[in-house]
Structure 1
């Protein structure tokens, strides 16, 4: 395994930002394929971990979307869906900014379940 300092920082920034930014394509279920592809293509451990974190964020947004969507049937889910919408925009933006400003660290989304 190569030392972390030998990885291309521009490539690391780009692939990490693309992984986290893929959530903006969430209208298509295929958007999770972007970080999955990045995880398999890259040999950089930071990029791989950022891709895993993005995959976990996708799964969490889908899970919460289903739960909150079901709660709309009893009329308490609407505010929760609004909060989920805001979280699905704000958190990836923070992840992208973190990936660009501190490419040597992995961004960890708060309050999510990590399956990978």
Structure 2
């Protein structure tokens, strides 16, 4: 049996790591949790967080490129993407804290892991 409090904390930290920075440093936390934890739910949440990081970077690069190409006309799109990625992360943290026995799955993302 796995410790539910430890499961909640590690899963929430995995998803919440994206709040630490928008750089590649923030993905290190879920990667470390993936390698250290033996809990299958925590490992699934860490994998999902890593996949979400990749999606944030890819979509962020696309939105940034489109904003530059259109000379800022699509700047509101960048704001919407920022709100969406923070909102999805908050939803993930809420989910893993309220239902710690089920890994969270982000909608509409591609999964590498």
Task: Place the TM-score, normalised by the shorter chain, in its bin.
Answer: over 0.9
Residue from 25, 48, 54 that aligns with 1:30: 25
Structure 2: give runs of 5+ residues left out of the alignment. none
Provide the aligned length of Structure 1 versus Structure 2.
111
Contact 1:23 1:32 in 2 (8 A): yes
Structure 1 moving runs of 4+ over 2 Å: none
Give CA-to-partner distance per residue, 1:58-100, whole Å, 9 cap, x none.
0000000110101012144312211110012111111011001
- 1:101 aligned to 2:78? no
TM-score when normalising by structure 2: 0.94
Give CA-to-partner distance per residue, 1:25-47, whole Å, 9 cap, x none.
13332100000000000000000
Q: Residue 78 of structure 1 aligns with which residue? A: 75
TM-score when normalising by structure 1: 0.91
Contact 1:56 1:113 in 2 (8 A): yes
Contact 1:17 1:96 in 2 (8 A): yes
C-alpha RMSD of matched pairs (Å): 1.0
